[in-house]
Structure 1
Amino acid sequence: MHTETTVSQSRSASPEPAALSSSTTVSATAPGQLRVIKRNGTVVPYDDSKIAVAMTKAFLAVEGGTAAASSRIHETVNALTKQISATFQRRMPSGGTIHIEDIQDQVELVLMRSGDQKVARDYVLYREEHARLRAEKQQAQPDPDYPRLQVTLADGSRRDLDMGRVRTVVEEACAGLKDVEAKTILDEAMRNLYDGVSLDDVNTSLVITARTLVEQEPNYSFATARLLLDKLRAEALSFLGVAESATQADMSEYYAQALPAYIRKGVELELLSPELLQFDMAKLAAALDAERDLQFTYLGLQTLYDRYFIHSDEVRFELPQIFFMRVAMGLAVEEPEKEARAVEFYQLLSSFDYMSSTPTLFNAGTLRPQLSSCYLTTVPDDLRGIYGAIQDNAMLSKWAGGLGNDWTPVRSLGAYIKGTNGKSQGVVPFLKVANDTAVAVNQGGKRKGAVCAYLETWHLDIEEFLELRKNTGDDRRRTHDMNTANWVPDLFMKRVFEDKDWTLFSPNDVPDLHDLYGQAFEQRYEEYEHQTSTGEMKLFKRIRAQELWRKMLGMLFETGHPWITFKDSCNLRSPQQHAGVIHSSNLCTEITLNTKSDKEIAVCNLGSVNLAQHVVDGALDTDKLRRTVKTAVRMLDNVIDINYYSVPAARASNLRHRPIGLGIMGFQDSLYKLRIGYGSDAAVEFADRSMEAISYYAIEASSNLATERGSYISYEGSLWSKGTLPIDSIEILSRNRGEQFIEVDRSQTLDWDGLRVQVKNNGMRNSNVLAIAPTATIANITGVSQSIEPTYQNLYVKSNLSGEFTVVNPYLVHDLKDRGLWDTVMVNDLKYYEGSVQKIDRIPADLKHLYANAFEVEPRWIVDAASRRQKWIDQAQSLNLYIAGASGKKLDVTYRMAWYRGLKTTYYLRALAATTTEKSTVETGTLNAVAASATEVPQACALDDPDCEACQ
């Protein structure tokens, strides 16, 4: 009787599902941090004892409760329970969420594999019956909180909206996020739905609702991204034939199925390289971590979806973790242990500790793996060479390469042409052709073509070059789409400081000036000036240096161009002085590599460390940073061998010198974590020490890689081979320029002597290892501040190719919440004051200092921090300068200081007019209330300037 009663009770008590979905007790044997999502959307801790109880009831229902049966059941259930828990622990070693259905699927699977077919069959039938009963109950009893709605499917048919699933998706999206409420999203989203709405529009309503809440609480950006993921999962998984839809909890199982299906489909569609089929998919699939999908902000995920995920007929069939694994596989394809390296690379990318540059993310693992970011070329002074260079621009741009062209060799307007006995039209008409080529050949249809033209300051066409971006004048001599930059020798800057004259020449009359720098340039330049006095030189122009300098700064303020970059700093501190001359930088002014007309096109291979991810417990985690840099340098070195080269001269240069450019992003986020204001000595010191560590570890990693793979071909004769590191090359610059014209901090804290010995003994794998790129888009993906930039505004609307996004500074919001100061009035005040906290009285002084925006930080702090970084960098940094209340005097002082502090280059000038800076001086009576007439002024991120192709 007792046995029969036990069997009967176990049958009637919903043995397996009820037991698994009702308890919140945590077992001592539960794997770390695993959670279970119940059918009603609530999340409870994982408890393997409940699995054991449920399976025991299932066995008892079939085999009875005799003593002999009980002993076998106990042993079998214990073994199967451990097997189930081990499976989830292996899938999610760092923890995560599992849906109740996933657990039941696993129970069903182990029962069938154990040979207990009767128990398994009974279990399957039981689940099917209760699934049917739940469906009937749901249909008969609509959700008590929301009206019953029907949705229209893609085929035009209708069915009831599954509110249970909607609740699950929203609850998953909000799980673990502070101050984020699922009910708030559901209530508002359901008010916007109607009977017969499409299934896609249900997700759209949820996403739009959540994104409108971001300005109230930044964590809603994460919730919005997670809601968007539901759409992405349905689109990709259905295309791959894995599932029609999936919750986040389902992805621990579906990711493993989706990866091999994705690779096969990508190869079949000729979108992925067949080489990817050579990988052991089971090993890679086991490494996919579905929980890392939860790291994305809405802007980051939408950017990936719109611009990075591989698609066929506009159907994106990549998912975030598959995307990162595809990139990792593409970078590991030539590694001896490619699965292990792919997993290593995947872990680094998917953790957001490091991110490859956009071309690498676009093209890794594809049939045309053009992974490099920018190409530097020198245009020769002959017609065939000029149009050959423009053709090279077109081919490089087609495969998503940004371009930096050195146009200095091309003779000036009025110069003699021996072949035709005529006079040259100068460099400007050819620049117009190059401009139009960049417009015509965009970067693989993924972003605008981007090119920057460089010209040395002594070129006779320099004054017309300065006006290329003006909106007035002869449009045939304007380049409205091309970036421009001045390539400024030290001698010119000395003449500016000393208020002396400057002489302009045509390069065909002074051909060697192009390849000279430092004292050699000064000596030869003065010899040519003497020839103008004796009558030997006929074509020239004399101009006061300060007058030309004012024109340069005036055009920079008016048009944003040409940028100011410094020839001698770049060359005198280059490790590759023995191999050639640096004639220009690249599209974003961080790359400084040698070029030789048609023989060598320099190539930059970029990636960035997320510095914010390495600030742990209020300090820089140097051990983690060292590990990150080591793997990142290997990934960048692999780019060089895997890369698709559309121009032979680029391949020759890249394989000969093997330069890479490891940079950083999230500098401002790091300061927030450290509670340091950007405009402070402490921030300058952190810039110094953090860059010192990255420089040390990057040089160390490249030297270690040389032991494994050999030094780069042109290593002998380099500064590296002489034991001269970037910190040492400051002395070379100082000797050539003169001590009175340079002031650079020389402090250091690490064992540089030991590293010098290692480099001399082991060599270097890469001619250059460090460069700080703008990181505009990859910083969006990882959800941190761009590059080394101060915060643009604390609240603004960002517009880019993926749409408009409300961006609010989460650090500020959470600080204000902690002090009880965050409310709707504060939101409106921030809107009115364009993201500035300085005019809001109730914000404390310490927060005003910490959250000063880019235009509220004095430019000297930006320059000083850049100077401290530059001493450790063998290339340059993409440095935007922000100047509020801009005037000629402010620009003059700032750019002179940039040269004086030893910077190699500068990038965009972000100038704020005085009328804008004084906008907040209004008579409203109180500074913490919004006037009735005040309206929000939409703001676009400065880093998404329409002229900044790198930001697109």
Structure 2
Amino acid sequence: MYDVNQEQTSLSFFSQPIAERIWQTKYRYSTAGQVIDDTVQDTWERVARGLAEIEAPSDQSATSAAFLAAMRNFKVLPGGRILSGCGTKRNVTLSNTFVMRTIPDSVDGIMDTLKDAALTMQMGGGIGFDFSTIRPTGTHVRGLDCLAAGPLAAMDIFDTTCKMIVKGMGRGAMMATMRCDHPDIEAFIVAKSDRTRLRNFNLSVMVTDAFMDAVTEDDAWDLVWEGTVMRRLRARDLWNSIMKQTYATAEPGVLFIDRINAHNPLRYLETISATNSCAEQPLPPYGTCPLASVNLAQLVIAPFSPDARLDVGELRNLVRVAVRMLDNTLDVSRYALDAQWQQAQNQRRIGIGVTGVADAIAMLGARYGSAKAVFLLGSWMQTIQNAAYQASALLAKERGTFPHYDADAHLSGANIQNLDPEVQELVRKHGLRNGTLTTIAPTGTTSMFAGNVSSGVEPIFSTSFSRVVTNPDGTKSSERVMDFAAWQFSQMHGPDTPLPESFVTTADLTPQDHVAMQAAAQKWVDSGISKTVNCPEDIAFDDFKTIYRDAYNTGCKGCTTYRPNNVTGSILSL
């Protein structure tokens, strides 16, 4: 394990060069050519002080110390926006995730939404849109006596704007969703067949329960606009169109939108129709949510031994601290739009998640995707969920509930009903400070910063691989990287000692292993999970289709797959 203390001033704590590189290019604070953060300790102290600013003056020192202790040794990893922006003079948001307004079906409305999106992206926010509200291509535009260009034409404009605003961020800065009954859904599905089009968007089809039933029963499916059936087709044909495109190009993903809404703790306040850019955070119009992850790889005691175990007590403590950190983030952060600030205050959504899951599982001698790994992940997420709700209830006692809190409606949700009885009682007594509490986000960059622990709930990609890194000037370079758990094992037993059998990588796993892990975590997560089901290139199409059905049947809120193809390429290579 790392041994970093407050007095350390060198960079020796970085186990691999890429970790130091990530810190220097992404999170180290420098301004006007002057370096402010000499060490990563300075970065943590800056963030801790910044997040503690809203505390009472007499409490700021102790709270800052608690935040610092949680971050030290890379145990709690605040989202990248927090690490890079908190405690600085930069005009940036500290929230990773946004969904924009419901897009009005008018030129003025579309362009006003585009302006809001540009301002949000300029401040560092990743954003999502529902394009289902824009009239289909070829329908009549009253007053102009012309035919509508349709939602994909609007998406092209948004894509160009994103490219201008966030040059160098890479693809996936935005999410576009569309309902499965929109008349332009077929064009939406194949929109990225052109490898030059919509490269700053991720695409997801919002699939309803009714549609899934129609696919099962081989029923007809209506494409509807403003209550009028525009076209009727076979549900299975539309489903196969989604599957074939995803099989070929890894997009679009699928969101099980009725489940997302039914299991939303704030379902009594809103109907969700979009997510942030990586799909882990379903949000209402103007919704936002800051993120942080607990690094499970740093909580394993006696790794690679018969006595290996996760320090569950420390896990609970870190979650409690992280809840306060993110609740403070909502007040410390800047926002591009007043509506975003208001929504953040009214609902106070936060997202506590995990990273280093696969590394922790390997350290405990389990195989990712096995029954033991599924049990371990489920138990860890149950612990996190209960600790987060306990912390939020105690924060509500101290600071008050979030303004839109409705006790009866909130307490009736499955999220509350699944909690331990003593935590339920605490919530009944004090309410909750935060509308949602748990999310599992992708942690690609922050996981590399932490010594290249396995990202989020993803498996170990490979024990050693090359990663393409975008440099500050926009150029790309390749870095050799070693998985954190494999590196730690080599430090303990020597580089020539064969790795234990628990070290399975993406190439060793079946799609069912991936789905089982996602489903195990989802039961204990308020929001969503960013997870990619990796598939072998030679997987049969009929077998590929079952992955999405399995994800639906096991309670997942969405599904995204990746099969090697010539369109998307990859930033990782063996």
Alignment partner, residue 179 of structure 2? 456
Say if 2:525 is the partner of 1:851: no
The superposition leaves residues 743-774 of structure 1 with CA deviations (integer Å, 9 ceiling, x where unpaired) of: xxxxxxxx712211111111000000000000
Match of 2:97 among 374, 380, 383: 374
C-alpha displacement of 1:886: 2.6
C-alpha displacement of 1:447: 6.5
Say if 2:481 is the partner of 1:807: yes
Match of 1:351 among 46, 70, 73: 73
C-alpha displacement of 1:912: 4.0
Q: Note if contact 2:171-2:199 (Cα within 8 Å) is conserved in structure 1.
A: no
What aligned pairs does 1:100-119 form with structure 2 within 5 A after superposition? Answer: none
The superposition leaves residues 685-710 of structure 1 with CA deviations (integer Å, 9 ceiling, x where unpaired) of: 11110100011101111111100000
- SS of the residue corresponding to residue 563 of structure 2 reads strand
Amino acid of the residue matched to residue 613 of structure 1? Answer: Q
- SS of the residue corresponding to residue 565 of structure 1 reads strand
CA distance in 1, matches of 2:147, 2:124: 37
Alignment partner, residue 45 of structure 1? none
Q: 1:324 to 1:497 in 2, by over 3 A?
A: same
CA distance in 2, matches of 1:815, 1:288: 27
Higher normalized helix content (fraction of residues):
1
What aligned pairs does 1:848-887 form with structure 2 within 5 A after superposition? Answer: 849-884=501-536, 885-887=538-540
CA distance in 1, matches of 2:404, 2:487: 52
Say if 2:434 is the partner of 1:782: no
Alignment partner, residue 798 of structure 1? 467
Identity of aligned residues (%): 26
Alignment partner, residue 305 of structure 2? none
Amino acid of the residue matched to residue 805 of structure 1? Answer: E
C-alpha displacement of 1:328: 1.1
The superposition leaves residues 216-272 of structure 1 with CA deviations (integer Å, 9 ceiling, x where unpaired) of: xxxxxxxxxxxxxxxxxxxxxxxxxxxxxxxxxxxx9xxxxxxxxxxxxxxxxxxxx
CA distance in 1, matches of 2:409, 2:447: 33
Match of 2:55 among 331, 335, 347: 335
C-alpha displacement of 1:874: 1.0
C-alpha displacement of 1:906: 2.5
Match of 2:547 among 894, 900, 914: 894
Q: 1:316 to 1:376 in 2, by over 3 A?
A: same
Match of 2:351 among 642, 658, 661: 661
Q: 1:728 to 1:901 in 2, by over 3 A?
A: farther
What aligned pairs does 1:481-880 form with structure 2 within 5 A after superposition? Answer: 481-506=200-225, 509-510=226-227, 537=228, 540-595=230-285, 601-617=286-302, 618-716=308-406, 719-722=409-412, 724-726=413-415, 728=417, 752-783=420-451, 784-802=453-471, 803-809=477-483, 811-812=485-486, 822=496, 847=500, 849-880=501-532
Q: 1:606 to 1:819 in 2, by over 3 A?
A: closer
Q: 1:808 to 1:385 in 2, by over 3 A?
A: same
CA distance in 2, matches of 1:698, 1:868: 18
- SS of the residue corresponding to residue 850 of structure 1 reads coil
Alignment partner, residue 941 of structure 1? 572
Say if 2:415 is the partner of 1:415: no
Aligned length: 554
- SS of the residue corresponding to residue 796 of structure 1 reads strand
C-alpha displacement of 1:727: 6.6
Amino acid of the residue matched to residue 570 of structure 1? Answer: I
- SS of the residue corresponding to residue 866 of structure 1 reads helix
Amino acid of the residue matched to residue 140 of structure 2? Answer: Y
Q: 1:332 to 1:296 in 2, by over 3 A?
A: farther
CA distance in 1, matches of 2:511, 2:383: 25
Q: 1:464 to 1:356 in 2, by over 3 A?
A: same
Alignment partner, residue 321 of structure 1? 41
CA distance in 2, matches of 1:820, 1:292: 23
CA distance in 1, matches of 2:309, 2:518: 21
C-alpha displacement of 1:317: 3.7
Q: 1:815 to 1:374 in 2, by over 3 A?
A: closer
Amino acid of the residue matched to residue 710 of structure 1? Answer: G
C-alpha displacement of 1:679: 3.0
Q: Note if contact 2:37-2:43 (Cα within 8 Å) is conserved in structure 1.
A: yes
Higher-Rg member (1/2) = 1
Q: 1:584 to 1:305 in 2, by over 3 A?
A: same
Q: Note if contact 1:324-1:349 (Cα within 8 Å) is conserved in structure 2.
A: yes
The superposition leaves residues 40-89 of structure 1 with CA deviations (integer Å, 9 ceiling, x where unpaired) of: xxxxxxxxxxxxxxxxxxxxxxxxxxxxxxxxxxxxxxxxxxxxxxxxxx
The superposition leaves residues 572-592 of structure 1 with CA deviations (integer Å, 9 ceiling, x where unpaired) of: 011111111111111111112
Q: 1:818 to 1:420 in 2, by over 3 A?
A: closer
Alignment partner, residue 25 of structure 1? none
CA distance in 1, matches of 2:280, 2:240: 25
Amino acid of the residue matched to residue 893 of structure 1? Answer: T
CA distance in 1, matches of 2:37, 2:230: 59
C-alpha displacement of 1:649: 1.2
Q: Note if contact 1:413-1:461 (Cα within 8 Å) is conserved in structure 2.
A: yes
- SS of the residue corresponding to residue 679 of structure 1 reads coil
TM-score, normalised relative to structure 1:
0.56
Amino acid of the residue matched to residue 414 of structure 1? Answer: G
C-alpha displacement of 1:875: 0.6
Q: Note if contact 2:293-2:353 (Cα within 8 Å) is conserved in structure 1.
A: yes
Match of 1:465 among 164, 169, 188: 188
CA distance in 2, matches of 1:901, 1:880: 16
Q: Which has the higher contact order (CA 8 A, sep 6+)?
A: 2
- SS of the residue corresponding to residue 351 of structure 1 reads helix
Alignment partner, residue 364 of structure 1? 86
Q: Note if contact 2:506-2:534 (Cα within 8 Å) is conserved in structure 1.
A: yes
Q: 1:718 to 1:388 in 2, by over 3 A?
A: farther
Structure 1 unaligned residues grouped into runs of 5+: 1-93, 97-251, 253-286, 511-536, 596-600, 730-750, 824-842, 914-937, 944-952
What aligned pairs does 1:264-283 form with structure 2 within 5 A after superposition? Answer: none
C-alpha displacement of 1:385: 1.3
- SS of the residue corresponding to residue 283 of structure 2 reads coil
CA distance in 2, matches of 1:583, 1:606: 20
Alignment partner, residue 50 of structure 1? none
- SS of the residue corresponding to residue 144 of structure 2 reads coil
Alignment partner, residue 311 of structure 1? 30
- SS of the residue corresponding to residue 414 of structure 1 reads coil
Alignment partner, residue 158 of structure 2? 434
Amino acid of the residue matched to residue 883 of structure 1? Answer: C
TM-score, normalised relative to structure 2:
0.91
Higher normalized strand content (fraction of residues):
2
Q: 1:718 to 1:375 in 2, by over 3 A?
A: farther
C-alpha displacement of 1:813: 6.7
CA distance in 2, matches of 1:821, 1:333: 46
- SS of the residue corresponding to residue 504 of structure 1 reads strand
More off after superposition, 807-816 vs 634-643: 807-816
The superposition leaves residues 307-364 of structure 1 with CA deviations (integer Å, 9 ceiling, x where unpaired) of: 2222245553422111111111111111112122122212211221101101111110
Q: 1:551 to 1:609 in 2, by over 3 A?
A: same
Q: 1:446 to 1:808 in 2, by over 3 A?
A: closer
Alignment partner, residue 19 of structure 2? 300
Q: Note if contact 1:412-1:459 (Cα within 8 Å) is conserved in structure 2.
A: yes
Q: Note if contact 2:301-2:310 (Cα within 8 Å) is conserved in structure 1.
A: yes
